[in-house]
Amino acid sequence: MLYHEVSGSGEPLLLISGLGADNSCWGGVVKSFSKRFQTIVFDNPGSGRSSIFKKPHTIRHLADDAVKLLNYLGIKRAHLIGHSMGGYIAQEIAINYPKRVNKLILEGTAPVSSSRNNVLFSGFAKKLKEKEPIEKWITTWSSWLFSKKTFDSGLFVETFIKNASKYPYPSTAEGFSAQVDAMAKFDTRSRLSEIKAKTLIIEGEDDILIRPDEARVLAKQIPGSKIRLIKNVAHYVHLENPSLFTKIAMGFLGN
């Protein structure tokens, strides 16, 4: 079973993390969501305290595991928020298990992993395998995650790197590589019209990892979906501006 934590009460809300991340990446927003929702955070296979998932590595397998977690918790239907790779997983859940999804929020994500990102992520996986010092690895990784405004402020990024470097459940080379392999094969472009859940796309205007034009493809092809572009933030909207993120998300989920 996947490592998971549940807090709060109300309609179920499943938060799905991105590449190399685990439940801790939602720490800044869980308390707010838990005031209105039964909020579930978990570690994807290959991250945190969950086991490595079996080959072949696919996003569909990760989606199946997330649904199995809902089954284990006795949850028939939940809101989903998926960030980055977690957005890939959320798309697969919405397409393959439409009755299990209430409303859908896709943050900093796209319908396919770009060729550039596949090369980029493979490079990060190689560095992990070569045992590059974790602080150096995270410092380079963070340069793709946050906006210029956040970097210029200094303290936020310094704290992020410090905390991530000392995190007791860091990404392993095996787990990270497995997720990278899964992302490289992911593509929902021909299936986005099958998503029936009411959908909101949240994207940072300064996101250089998964760019706004990639997120706009989701908005164009998911029936009835809407997109919110957020100024002065990049790939991690819910980390850079958690109060605005929760305000937008809860406004959407509560309507």
Digit-coded pLDDT (tens) for 175-227: 999 999 999 999 999 999 999 999 999 999 999 999 999 999 999 999 999 99
Helix H, strand E, coil C: the string for the chain is CCCEEEECCCEEEEEECCCCCCHHHHHHHHHHHHCCEEEEEECCCCCCCCCCCCCCCCHHHHHHHHHHHHHHCCCCCEEEEEECHHHHHHHHHHHHCHHHEEEEEEECCCCECCHHHHHHHHHHHHHHHCCCCHHHHHHHHHCCCCCHHHHHHCHHHHHHHHHHHCCCCCCCHHHHHHHHHHHHCCECCCCHHHCCCEEEEEEECCCCCCCHHHHHHHHHHCCCCEEEEECCCCCCHHHHCHHHHHHHHHHHHHC
Residue 52 has pLDDT above 90, yes or no: no
> Taking the domains of the chain in order of start, what are their residue ranges?
4-254
So what's the pLDDT on residue 55?
85
What would be the CATH architecture of the domain defined by 4-254? 3-Layer(aba) Sandwich (3.40)
